[in-house]
Each structure stands twice: as structure tokens, then as C-alpha cells.
Chains A and B, each alone.
Chain A
Amino acid sequence: MPTLTIDGREITVEPGTRIIEAADRLGIDIPRFCYHPGLPVAGNCRMCLVDTNRSPKPVASCWDPCQEGHVVTTNSPRILEARRSVLEYILLNHPVDCPICDQAGECELQDLYFAHDHQASRHPFHKHHKDKARVLGPQIVYDAERCINCTRCIRVCEEVAKAPQLVQVQRGERAYIDVFPGTQLDHPYSMCTADVCPVGALTTRDFRFKCRAWLTHGIQTVCGECSRGCGIRADVYRNEVQRLVPRHNPDVNQYWACDHGRLAYHRFETGRVAAVRIGGATTDYAKGVREVAEALPGAALRGVAVVLTPWMTDEDAWAVVTAIRSVAPGATFAVGGAAPGAADEVLVLADKNPNRNGLARVLADLAVTPVALDEIVAQAPALGALIVFGAEHAKAEALAGALARVPLSIVLAALEGPLTAAARFVFPSTSPYETDGTWVNEQGVVQRVRRAVQPAGDVRDFAVWASDLADRLGQPLPAPARASGGNP
């Protein structure tokens, strides 16, 4: 366990730790471009140079391992001069087109220029021009002029996605990143190359020119596209999700997220259930809840069946089960959910529902034994009421048939589909970006889902609907469920 000193502060680290990692742990900032904590070390940008007592020349702190008795200086005049020179060299042919660059505002080159270089270009000749806006794949656009050839993107493809599709071609100032002839950058993690790009060379086509980075505010939430539950940050501007980017979670997704999950927010931009409907006629939310509350006790005499969705949060599940059992103690519950899909070796799991684990735990806590979905479909003609939560059920057609045969059929969903067409009562509910609560992923990691955008109109969380229904039925839910609420 070597003990070393960085800027006069001592730290003991495991053997093999790089100096830059030890400095990060101490909170000492060493500027870097090519180093990324989730990727193998390349050591080509020379931005992280530090002085040590073991070398006459500055060394790259991302490459040099910590040694016993190492004395490291990160801010000597020689190092500050080295950083300034490295930046001047990197910026030699940089187009400085920050006004039209999507990275501006979150660009490491921009930040480091202002922190360490801050001088006008001394380059008197024409800058070297290269390709701009070159489409590398379905999700990624490449600007060769902005590229600083740090090769982070190449390492993401090779090490994270296990799909070596990018390569560095040419040498010196002509070097640029490219795909192999006749191929394109199309692996399922291609957008991670834009995340790790420290400059605006690789940008996503989804976010390109859509919004400036500094206008958004990031909400830390969780992706719901599979049971992995990758940590994501929803960047929001004017109450609209502009993009999703992965956030670091060492227990779940490291630094990465798949392209599918990052584009999933588009699903909730169209085809939303806009208003409460009773028998196809639009009505207001209060009237809808009142009519359900009036009809439900009568229907409960014949039997109530409820189809829950593994997309609902734990809080939603608790409130829904508690509210419905207060009026129909013998209600049967089933768990629906999206059909299993393809999985891969990196992050994507086969179960395409984010909270199957959490829902099972809540139901077990409430002593509910869910029955099979087919059983409810078979019972449908004898039922008094059938309540379906969510639209993302694999057996939607069979459920829609069952809904049509039940006197009191209720669907709460964010998206229109066969279920909302078949039900008598339709309530709009929140999308995963509009709700707040807890999901438990397949590995059992409990994660908080946060509301990124405010839902419009009569859109309510399941828990809020259940709470309002319980109020109407004269059996209000205990206080904690109300605290999880959505719209007041």
C-alpha cells in the first residue's frame, strides 16, 4: 500500500492506483482529456502532466502508478506552463465555433481554456480544415475539426460495447476518427461515444441543435426500459425532456446507458391519453373519480379484479392495493407488464419492466398473492369490475377483450392503445418522467425515480388517483401515501 504526497497532502492507496485517481480522491483537480475513469488509460492528450520527485520531466498522471514516497506537485509554474502549452497546441487547428457547437457550455476544452490558457491564438496561418457534420451512424454526427483525438470514443466502442467500430486514421494534425469503409457506428451503445467526448466532435443526432446545454436543468432519475434501471439524468427545458444522459452509478450501470433507453422519452411525446373519458366522452377528473366511487361498491359484490403493471412505483402499488381493498377486500390482483425482449452482455436485460422486483416486494408486504393474468381474463364475464393500470401489457388484446365484457371497466394509462379503447372509464396517468417514487431493479438495488417534467391537465399518478378514490369512498389512505403524490 504505497503512501504518497500530492500537493503536500498524504494519501495511502492500493498498489497500481494511478496518480490522477489518488488526486481525484483527495479532491485535487488535475485537468484531463483522454483519461476517463471508466475506460482504459491511453495517455495521449498530455493535459494531466504533473511534477514528481522520481522524474526529471513532468509525467502523465493518468499513466504513472503511485509509488511509496512519491512527492507529486500539480501546480508548479512548470506544470502550469505545460498545461498552457498543451492547450495552445490542441487549439491550434480548433475551429472555435462554440456558438454553433452543441457541446458549448459543457465542453471540457472550453472550461480548461478559460482556466489554464486564456490567450489569443498565435497561429498566423489558415487553420487546417477537415470534415464537418459527418454522419457516422444512426445516432452520431462527427466533426473532425473539433476533434482532439483523445480516443475516448474508440475505447468506449472496444471496451464497453465490445464493438470495435471506430478507428483513428491519418497522423499528426490530419488525424481523425472514422468508421471502417462501408460500415457505420451502429452498436447499441453508440451514444456513449458522445457522452465521453470531451469536446463537440461527437454529438448525438437526437440532441443536435435542439437546445443549448446551459438552458437545461438535469433531473436525476432512472431509466425504465429494462429491469437494469440505469441511472439517467433527464435534461429538461421549458417542461420538456430534451435528452437523457447516463449518470454514474457504480452498482448498476457504471457510466453507460444504451441508445434505446436514451431515446425512450420520445415514446411519451405523442399518443398520450389527454383527458378523463367515460364511455368515450371527455369529462373532468373529479366527475370521473366520483362515478367510479359510486359504481365500485356495487361492482365489488360480484368481484373486482385488478391488473397491476411492473412500471408503477412501489408507492403507487401500495396506494392502489390499499385503496381498492378498502372497498373490495376480496379483490384479485395480477401483474401484467411488457413482454420479455432481447438482452445483451453489457447492460440490457430481458425483462423490459423496471419494477417487477419492487412490485413483488410490496405485494408480499401487503399479503397479496397475485394470480395469473390469464385467470383474470377467463373470469371476466363473472366480474363486477376490472381495473387495469398501465398500457404496456404484453397481453393487451386479451385484456381488452376482457374489459369489454365487464360492467365496470377502468383503465389508467399514459398512452392510448387497445386497452384505453375498450374501457368505459379511462384516466390519463403519468409517464415515467412525470412520476416520483421508488423502483427496485433486477439486482435488488432500490432507486429513486424523480419527476422531471410537470404533467399536463388531468394527468395523475396512480397513487394520487387511488388516494382521491379512497377519499371519495370515505376511507382515506394513511398519511405517507399522500406524501408520495403528484398533482395536488
Chain B
Amino acid sequence: MSETLSGADMLVRALQDEGVEYLFGYPGGAALHIYDAIFKQQKVEHILVRHEQAATHMADGYARATGKPGVVLVTSGPGATNAITGIATAYMDSTPLIVISGQVPTWQIGTDAFQETDMVGVSRPVVKHSFLVRDCAEIPRTIKTAFHIATTGRPGPVVIDVPKDTTDPAITAPYDYPESVSLRSYKPAKRGNGRQLRKAAKALIDAERPIIYSGGGVVQGDAGPALTRLAHRLGAPVTNTLMGLGAFPGDDEQFIGMLGMHGTYEANMAMHHADLIFAVGARFDDRVTNNPDKFCPDAKIIHVDVDPASISKIINADIPIVGDALSVLEELDPLVEAELGKQPERSEAAGKAWWRQICEWRDAYGLDHVMKPREDGIILPQQVIQSLYRATGGNAYVTSDVGQHQMFAAQYYKFPEGRRWINSGGLGTMGFGLPAAMGVQFAYPEATVACVTGEGSFMMNMQELSTCLQYGLPIKVICVNNQALGMVKQWQDMQYGGRHSQSTYSDSLPDFKTLAEAFGHVGFRIDHTGDLDAAMDEAFSAKLKDKVVLVDVWVDPDEHVYPMAIKGGSMRDMYLNKITTSQQGDYM
């Protein structure tokens, strides 16, 4: 005989049965029955945020750091719409999220009732799936199905819209939590096709100029070690996308940096000149390919992705493989080993020549060449990241916001493994960094968590400093302060004749040091290279281990991010600094 519970109690019990640790949310009228059910239990801890957008980013950060789904609870109307940006962020970067939204009672739906929004309709283009609960008895199965869909295949956010009457404490139904669900219309592929795998193994061995291009799918699939093993077996260069950083260790000698719009010179050149591109869990995003018509003219393409719709969407794949990154890489490794055994005479010379070429590129225009430290003590944003990397020994979880600081962090922090670098790559959501860092810190209370942000992004969700105080989250906020919307300004410098339309506000910025103090935290302000390392060391010192520290670093406002892809060109077409492009030199 199963227990009989109200919809609200069932909902909370189902979250317990899913092993949910944290529920990030904000109460309101339509969700109050659920909040009362939360009050009566201790297993699921509710985290009270200051804005619903931040709740979704926290859940997202938690999910990206752990691989477990992040769970959000908001009320109807504005609570639900405030969550949309966070849902869209998770959708674009394929993170598993469960967003439970209160809804007006069933009989009021469609009447333009107070705080009514068609949440299923509003969220439809940015969710993997959504549910509108029609009866309290549906709640256990709906929640089980939502978790199943969010976490399998290509992960993504799932919305459950819960009308208030379905959580009414006076209406009860039997509670039976299903152990598993099976949907006839949803069966994601896991294993790659055997014939395609054998073709891929042969192509990898036959290639003279191979490159491994791995993306967020390898991080999400926890396939980093499998990728690393295969890459070491092949001896091929590896480049990671913005979303894939860390999946292959950033300090490995086969790593040639990030690729794409702000990728390294050597990574973009190697892509362009490759004869084989092995793409795993990456989606040939426009920020990677530049002009698809000019993309990598000599390359044969192997494309592994769990989502069939990502394959041949932008660039046609010669060997498409639909499957989970981990499963495909694990099955491919012995095939590659066997192929290597069959061709012991396989030319080492070709591999050596390819690496020699890549090293030449790196020596000519690698990141060290791009950055020119200043003599006058003005800090460059790149130096902030280098200092952070040094102070944390490369072992921090680093979240970022969106803009120049994000690209500098991606370029200069070498991540040792996946899930260490957490940023909004697809949607590019400013305001993501701080709440995402908080989600990471909830997951790993003892870990060092740094949020690299800019003063523009930071001001989009800085109210969460209050939440940090409430829950004792010792985030270290590194604010790369260039007193402007740096990336917008860079584009205006490069494409709009230096007309800085609405991208500067230097006379109206708050004092971030006292701002941090007002929220009960510690703040520093640094504006000279001589003070940078000491401030960074202090921020990460044992003395301040339990404190939020906001390090406001004033940097050169005129620095640009380079390399930068030249619009409409191929991957080898880049601006290398303010005066040089790759097209001008004898670069090959």
C-alpha cells in the first residue's frame, strides 16, 4: 500500500528520491504550497537567491561542475520569465537543468490572471522538453521523466509548470516513485556504429596532418581521460573549443590551445591546413568555423556527436558517428591500437613534419607573441589571468562572465581537467559568472572557486553577493575592470571607426571595494602591476579562505583580445594585433 500525499509533498519527495541536494529558488504565490512542503523536511536544502535568473545560473554551475542536474524552483509570471535567460543559457550549452515553475490554478489558466504567464509557451524554444502538470497524481512520473530527459542523450533544461491547484495540500493521491521510465518517442543513441568506427580508426592512422577538435560534449560526457589516451596514442595535436577546455589537459605538450574566433594562431592554422579533423562533442559553431564555405579546404572530417542534428548541420561530415563521446572514444581506442599494429612502418616522418610546422606557427605568433607587457605599470588583462593561474596553482574552478575577460581566461588559464572551466559559451550571458561560481561552491564547499568577471557583467547579477553572505560561500571574484564594455568597444574600434557608442561609463562606476564591504565581504582595488601578485596571493590566502574576496583590478582599457578571426574569412585569417593580420605575413 503506497503512501498518500498532496501534490506539493509528492513533488518534494520526488526530488528527495532523485537525490537532489540543493534547490535554487525564490518563493511566490503560485509556488507557496510547494514552499510549505519544503519547510517540513530537511533532505533537500533550498537556497534563497536574490533574483530568479541567478537561481538558474547557480543550478547550471552546480550541474556543470558535478554532471548532476541542477534544480530550480520559481513562482509563476515574473518568477518564471526571470528564469528564462538562465534556461536559454543552459539550453545553448547543453546542461541538465530541471526548472519547476509555479503556475496559476488550472481554472485560471488563459484568463490573464495575476502573475500568469504561459511558461510552457514562453520557454518552448529554449528547453529540451517541458511539462504542464494536469493532475497531482501525475507529479511523480512527470518528475522522473523530466530527470530522465534532462540527463540523457544531449543534456538540456526541462521545465515543469505546476498549477497551484495540483499542489493543494487538501488533495492527495498515492505516491509511487517509478524506478525508471521508458519513452517510445525518446531513445538517444549511445554507442557509435561499428562500421563507422572502423572507418574512423583507419582515417586517423592514414592522416598526415590530423588534428583533434574536441568540445563541450567531451566535458559533459566525462570523456576527457578517454580522449587524452587516444590523443597520446595518435600523437596528434589537440585543440579545444571554448566549451571543451580542460577535457584535454591545458598543460599537455600536445595541446595547442583553444581554436576559433579568439583561438591561438597555431590552433587555427593547424585546423586550416589539416588533412583530417577529428571532431568530438563539438558543433562547428560559427565562432569556430568563420566562413563555412572557406572552412578547412583539405580536411576530411570525422564528426562524433550524441545529437544527430548537430552532424553535418554547418559542415558536412565525411565520417559521421552518432554516439556518446565516452562510449565512442573507448571503442575507438582499441581499433586505433590494432590499426597501428597493422602498419608498423607508418611514417613517423609525416607526424614530425606536421609538429615541426605547428611549432613554427607557435613560435611566430603564439600567445606570448600576442601580449606585450607595458613598462608603465598599467596592468594588462592577460596578466590578471596569469597571476590568477599562478596563485591558484591551476587548480581552481574558474567561472567567467562574457566579454574580453572571458576570452583572456580561456586563453591563459590552463585547465587540468574538464568541469573546471565554467562559462556561458553558446548564449553568451553576462551575469552568469557569480551565480555559476556559487553553484560550484555549493557542490564542492572545500574547493577554490574563482569568478573571473568584468565590471559590466558583474553588475548584472551582483545582488547575489548577499546570497554569498547568507550561505557562507567564499567565492573569489576577480573583476577585470577596464571601465568599459570591453568587447563591444573592441568591435567598435575595429569595425566602427572607434565610435564608442554606449560602451563606456567610466565616470559612473561604483567603488567595488566598498561595494564588497557593504555586502559584508572583503574588497581590494589594484591598479599597478607591482601590486597584482601580492593582492592575488592574499585573496587566495588561508587567512581569507572563508571570505568572499572581490579583487577589483583596473586594467588597460584599450587592450584588445587577439588573435581575432577576420570576418568572412577562413580559419587562417586572423588579426594578430592592432596592426598585423595573418594575411600580411609569409605565414604559409
Q: Do A and B bind?
A: no
**Hey, which bits of chain B sit against chain A, CB under 8 A?**
none
**Hey, which bits of chain A sit against chain B, CB under 8 A?**
none
